[in-house]
Amino acid sequence: MFEYSDNRFQIKPSTKKQIKSTSYDELLDYLRSAGEEKYRADQILHEIFINRATDFKQMTQLPKHLRNMLSDVFEITSIELEEKRVSADGSIKFLFSLADRQFIEAVYMPWANDDGEVERSTLCISTMSGCPVGCAFCATGTLGFKKNLTPSEIIDQIFIVERELGTKINNVVLMGMGEPLLNYDNVVRAISLLADEKTKVISRRKITLSTSGIAPRIRQLAHSPYPPKLAISLHATTNGTRNKIMPIAQSFDLSSLMDAVEYYYRQTKMKITYEYIPFDGINDTLEDAERLRKIAQRVPSRVNFIPFNDISFTKPQGISLELKPSPPQRVAQIAEYLRSHKIAVIVRDSFGRDIEAACGQLALSREQ
Ligand code: SF4
């Protein structure tokens, strides 16, 4: 909704609550105060998350008077699809705009079997517009922090991609723009709504939250209603190197991070994933391989080597200028060393090199 003031149109903040951000318990409270039956909360969630209603008028399971009451208090908002880029490798990058004209991205990645049929799909979604963490290898970090996404804006990315592609997303990875654990309440609420058996959008075991390592929040996440799988953006095996390429590491060193990861595993019994971008001469020595082995063997885990996406378009400075991808033979050597110690390793190809796939690249170019 817009209003005209200061000689321009401005977004007028709505006083209504976003229904897609509303928890089951909050719906129950509302229904109780409105003198309505409890089972209506299940019906409302069914209409929103299973029937994907975009208007209260479409909620035909509900009596008319309740639909009218709901529309007085709640609203069904949605982010907008701005652009869709399809890569030759099958991945698709989506650019969305929020109500306040901030931009966020999601990337769809299909995994095909030997016959070329898509066996499963992963959607990497954003939890913030921009990001305050400023990792030296990440384009999103150069945008700075813009805003935390609401649960509704996080969920919309899945809804819109499923609608656009006419397919169900099998895995969701919270690894797009933003540090999910710095938007803790909204992210946990979005996961709870998605994983709730009443909404049936996606199981918590098919949701992976990737963090740069906010140790106290990792411990807290272990006690959230639906703890997801945990991935750690590790990218270095010493505090010295990690501090240089990930400023957040100055607040949470490797020792406190590893303690939190072990705690998470002990509470949830789910394997941990370590994400590692090998940088030439920075974190790819045989000593790094040995330290990585020790880290990965602390609790059941696997290591994903991710290729470095070029960020020269961000006009990098300082340590970012020194980051170059490791030669493939060296990555293969480290991977082999870890495998020889029975550690599961995946050496990933980069998806969507031809469609500005670096995290934040499309949003940054749109802003510019
Ligand atoms: S890698 Fe993640 S945490 Fe680091 S700046 Fe980019 S979006 Fe933020």
Length of the chain measured in residues:
368
CB of 141 closer than 6 angstroms to any ligand 1 atom: yes
Burial environment of residue 239 by CB neighbours within 10 A (0 to 12, 13 to 18, 19 or more): middle
Q: In sequence order, what are the residues at sequence separation of 6 or more whose Cβ sits closer than 8 angstroms to the Cβ of residue 344?
A: 301, 302, 303
Domain 80-367 homologous superfamily, CATH = Aldolase class I (3.20.20.70)
DSSP 325: B
CB of 133 closer than 6 angstroms to any ligand 1 atom: yes
CA distance 325 to 336: 18
Per the annotation, the verdict on 131 as an active-site residue is: no
Question: 303 has which bridge partners?
Answer: 274, 345
Predicted local distance difference test score (pLDDT) of residue 165: 96
Cβ–Cβ contacts within 10 Å for residue 255, how many? 10
Mutate to test the pocket of ligand 1, among 107, 127, 140 (most ligand atoms within 8 A of CB): 140
Q: Is the pLDDT of residue 293 over 90?
A: yes
What mean pLDDT do residues 304-313 have? 89
Candidates 334, 118, 132; CA nearest to 214 is 132
Candidates 329, 341, 327, 323; CA nearest to 245 is 323
pLDDT tens sequence across 54-89: 999 999 999 999 999 999 999 999 999 999 999 998
What mean pLDDT do residues 268-294 have? 97
What's the gap in Å between 342 CA and the centre of ligand 1?
A: 30
pLDDT tens sequence across 78-119: 999 999 999 998 899 999 999 998 999 999 999 877 777 788
Q: Is the pLDDT of residue 10 over 60?
A: no
**What whole-number percentage of the chain has pLDDT above 90?**
82
Give the global pTM: 0.93
Contact status, residue 260 vs residue 219, Cβ threshold 8 Å: yes
Q: Which of 105, 153, 179, 275 is catalytic?
A: 105
CA distance 252 to 249: 5
The mean pLDDT value of the chain amounts to: 93
pLDDT tens sequence across 175-201: 999 999 999 999 999 999 999 999 989
Lowest mean pLDDT among 41-45, 168-172, 210-214, 356-360: 356-360
CATH code linked to domain 2-75: 1.10.150.530
> Where do we find the tokens 């010295």?
240
Q: Do the domains at 2-75 and 80-367 have one common CATH topology? A: no
Mutate to test the pocket of ligand 1, among 104, 124, 128, 131 (most ligand atoms within 8 A of CB): 131
Contact status, residue 195 vs residue 158, Cβ threshold 8 Å: no
Cβ–Cβ contacts within 10 Å for residue 260, how many? 24
Domain boundaries, the chain: 2-75, 80-367
Cβ–Cβ contacts within 10 Å for residue 135, how many? 22
